[in-house]
A and B are shown apart, each in its own frame.
Chain A
């Protein structure tokens, strides 16, 4: 008997130790991530590409001034140790890291930041990152060729940088974007940077097989002690969901983005369901009405449509629950999101009543511009058609390419269109879309104009106190929900399937595939050595 107890005790201790071992990051191994958005990488020069796909690799190879801290849900400094904003909120003084080394061995200084941002403003190249650097004073002049240097960027010393902005905004929202990465001038000027990138990231570039993968190795001089954990990182291109499914089941990859169809399958599988990471992304899907087109200028008509469509059913049946019902313009992760707001219930009778009140008892007809997208395009429209028909509204779909959708919205050529709108990470910039002074080409695609909203927004923009600002934004957000300038559909639920041996993945609401790989590690159950 005593022997048994002894054995049991030993077993428990061992199990405990094993469990402990699982929690301590293991140094070594290979992380295998997937790039699911396209069949190739655009460019490994981060300044030249705005694509989400390329950023997956650049989160490993490159660094920007700020990062997004998923745990806290906010921006944090990455390449600087501290920042001091001035009284008027226009000038920021950064104390930079002195332990950041490029992969060629050289230490990063303030010169590198100035050089990188200046490069971005080269007017002849059209770099996507330029729109982010434009908030710095003097940047536009460089872009137009009127100046050689950005006046608002001043080097105080090797590790102190002073940045003056043109507007009172938080520079972090601009400078955490991948296309504003800090690059070493001497490497870029060699000419083949896009095939041999060099950066400040935790992993060093090893090779790129076009159409197939990028391989990177641990950068031992990375400034976060003990990190990165893994020896190697591979980003494999797999644009087809079905291909990822097979590879995942064969244990050939560690992570895989799931589409709606696979979400259902994985959820119901007892093994696979244990490795699913979900996060509400910062995208609001909606049907945007053009208020210059009658009868969309009437609030009752817009609300009627919100009552007439059974959004929950569509989310459940067509999107396979891979979305959260939208109850406002701002997404779930926004600090100004009001959890207490109830969504428009499905009530066709009420819809008919509202239409009658608005003088349209027999309904009306309109054209809806849409794309092919399976989550917020044609299939959704097909489901909406009979629902609106029930209350007398005849919907005619007009199919366009998704790339043309933005064009149409900016020109105001639509009666209504259905699409996915970026609603983050800066809630203030996001709510600006409903500010009457915002032009249609910027993002006010509805043509919305409400003095009550304007007042709330202006107050929010002027307040320096974050809590007060968020409160005002919340009120503005709720006002917008009530006014129903759009049909509120859903917030995307990004779903990432992951293997049991990979740890440290972050639920990044800005883009779930953008993982900071220095925090990710694989235990020894991984088949990749």
Chain B
């Protein structure tokens, strides 16, 4: 197990470095005087003389290779720079937002797995029935939905019309505020999980049907059921792994919609305010998450089915 983890981490590091390089390169091209990002609303502008001084201070006029080297060195030691906007360390800005983002993504995943797998199972157990068709239509609709439009509609129905749930914000971190954003975010993966679970279960059941026809007792059926479960689990984990990436991407929009104080909304705000270090930091954080979760998924894979070897 440790060997697998070690090898995986080893593969991850070059990817991470490449991402750091890419992010840096992309943003050194950024036009627009980002120092002006200190203004707010077009009011109280900063003196041009002062701006010049600050540019020199932040080393923004140094040659590119020098800046790159400095950037890599800093990032690797955990120093993501100082935000242009708030003049605080970027790590502090991001740190406050990690938990809300994590909560949202986890909650969305939990929702997707619970509802999606259940739907898939139910649909597979009664193929061709009304439930089956409805679930599958629902599933493909879920894949075609704009996450934020769905969220907007949910917000309108449950928060503004029925007043059952708060319409935005983190609140005091309680469950009530988490429900709408998590559902809006989770509907995509849920749909995919429903479809694939159905396909997987059908596969196994068909074989199962043939086998149980020849079975001689309970024990075989139990063994078969365990087999179904394990296959399904593997599939679920695979999809979770694949979907996490797109989930983190979609989370950006959902966070903005619901004013959820996560890394995604920080990234969007920073892009608008030309807060270069913050944007870079956010991208790195998101990629880190993604790679970490994928590593966990791989490990879970191996744990569940030791026959899976690593290429």
List residues of A whose CB falls within 8 A of some B CB: 37-40, 42-43, 48, 50-53, 123-124, 126-128, 130-131, 210-211, 240, 242-243, 246, 371, 373, 400-407, 410, 419-420, 422, 441
Contacts and interface: CB of A to CB of B under 8 A. Distances in A.
Contacts of B40: 37-38, 51-53
Contacts of B166: 246
Given A40-B86, A43-B87, A405-B42, A124 B37 contact: no
Given A42-B87, A406-B36, A128 B44 contact: yes
Interface stretch (B46-54, B197-205, B221-229): B46-54
Which of B46, B50, B166, B272 has most A Cβ within 10 Å?
Answer: B50
Main secondary structure of the interface of B (DSSP, over half): loop
Contacts, number: 90
A48 B86 CA distance: 11
B50 A126 contact: yes
A243 B168 contact: yes
Contact of A404 (B36, B92, B96): B36
Interface in B21-55: 32-33, 36-48, 50-51, 53-54
B30 to A, nearest CB: 11
Contacts of A43: 87
B169 A406 contact: no
Contacts of B269: 39
B41 A402 contact: yes
Interface of B: 32-33, 36-48, 50-51, 53-54, 57, 86-87, 92, 96, 166-169, 259, 261, 269, 272-274
Nearest to A126: B50
A121 B92 CA distance: 30
B87 A403 contact: no
A72 B13 CA distance: 66
A312 B44 CA distance: 28
A53 B40 CA distance: 9
16 contacts: A38-B40, A39-B261, A39-B269, A42-B87, A51-B40, A52-B40, A52-B44, A126-B51, A210-B96, A211-B261, A240-B169, A401-B273, A403-B33, A403-B38, A403-B39, A404-B36
A55 to B, nearest CB: 9
Nearest to B266: A39
B260 to A, nearest CB: 11
Contacts of B43: 52, 420, 422
A419 B42 contact: yes
A403 B37 contact: yes
Contacts of B44: 50-52, 128, 422
Nearest to B54: A126
A420 B40 CA distance: 12
